[in-house]
């Protein structure tokens, strides 16, 4: 009986001591606006939620060391705004990512299309971005399909798997003001 109790305590301790592999920061801001008119007071509720997720990656891990420095890794930021009307109906808004971007000395424009975004250079459509359920984007061109996301600065990061070298290639589109 004693051994069953000890095994149960050990099992519960083992289940609760999992390592965390991501840093998550989530902030919410709620604003209530009251509008007075001839029908009475109407309250509109605006709820803004910003979630930042950063994968924890370690620098060179040496055997038999306890403390290892964390490597800088990208932060993926998502924000959602939900507005609730007095009648109870809600609308959800996500940020518009359409803007001009620079990559390898070339200027690109990301513009919304019917199912996501299109990456254009002049009037020529070069690639498509389609949103996934995990707040990433599938980047589709004639030659490749990759995964992309927007960092906290609004830059578009595209990650592509290279089978020849067995590595991930990263391409960055820097957001510009004009």
In this structure, the answer to whether residues 171 and 104 fall within a common structural domain is: yes
Q: Which two tokens stand for residue 128?
A: 């498509």
Domain count, the chain: 2
* Domain contains 8: no
- pLDDT given at position 9: 62
In this structure, the answer to whether residues 89 and 105 fall within a common structural domain is: no
In this structure, the answer to whether residues 80 and 126 fall within a common structural domain is: no
Q: Which of 116, 46, 52, 49 is nearest to 80 (CA)?
A: 49
In this structure, the answer to whether residues 89 and 103 fall within a common structural domain is: no
In this structure, the answer to whether residues 55 and 117 fall within a common structural domain is: no
In this structure, the answer to whether residues 124 and 148 fall within a common structural domain is: yes
In this structure, the answer to whether residues 103 and 171 fall within a common structural domain is: yes
In this structure, the answer to whether residues 86 and 128 fall within a common structural domain is: no
Do 121 and 107 form a contact (C-beta atoms < 8 A)? Answer: yes
Domain edge (last residue) among 93, 121, 156: 93
- pLDDT given at position 91: 75
- pLDDT given at position 159: 93
Domain edge (last residue) among 39, 62, 93: 93
Do 74 and 83 form a contact (C-beta atoms < 8 A)? Answer: no
Q: Edge-to-edge strands of the sheet including 75-84?
A: 22-37, 40-55, 75-84, 90-93
Which stretches of the chain score pLDDT less than 70? 1-2, 5, 7-20, 76-78, 93, 177-178
- pLDDT given at position 120: 92
pTM of the full predicted structure?
Answer: 0.55
In this structure, the answer to whether residues 84 and 36 fall within a common structural domain is: yes
* Domain contains 162: yes
In this structure, the answer to whether residues 88 and 110 fall within a common structural domain is: no
- pLDDT given at position 15: 55
- pLDDT given at position 134: 78
Domain edge (last residue) among 93, 115, 147: 93
- Domain range for 84 is 20-93
In this structure, the answer to whether residues 81 and 107 fall within a common structural domain is: no
- pLDDT given at position 119: 92
- pLDDT given at position 55: 75
């Amino acid at each position: 009986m004693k051994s069953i109790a000890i095994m149960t305590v050990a099992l519960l301790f083992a289940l609760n001591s999992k390592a965390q592999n991501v840093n998550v920061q989530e902030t919410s801001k709620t604003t209530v606006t009251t509008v007075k008119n001839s029908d009475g007071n109407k309250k509109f509720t605006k709820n803004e939620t910003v979630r930042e997720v950063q994968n924890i990656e370690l620098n060179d891990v040496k055997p038999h060391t306890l403390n290892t420095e964390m490597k800088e890794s990208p932060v993926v930021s998502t924000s959602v705004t939900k507005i609730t009307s007095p009648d109870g109906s809600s609308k959800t808004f996500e940020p518009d990512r359409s803007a001009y971007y620079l990559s390898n000395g070339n200027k690109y424009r990301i513009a919304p299309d019917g199912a996501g975004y299109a990456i254009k250079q002049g009037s020529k459509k070069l690639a498509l971005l389609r949103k996934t359920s995990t707040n990433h984007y599938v980047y589709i061109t004639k030659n490749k399909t990759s995964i992309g996301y927007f960092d906290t600065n609004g830059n578009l990061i595209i990650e592509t798997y290279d089978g020849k070298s067995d590595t991930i290639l990263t391409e960055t589109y820097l957001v510009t003001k004009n």
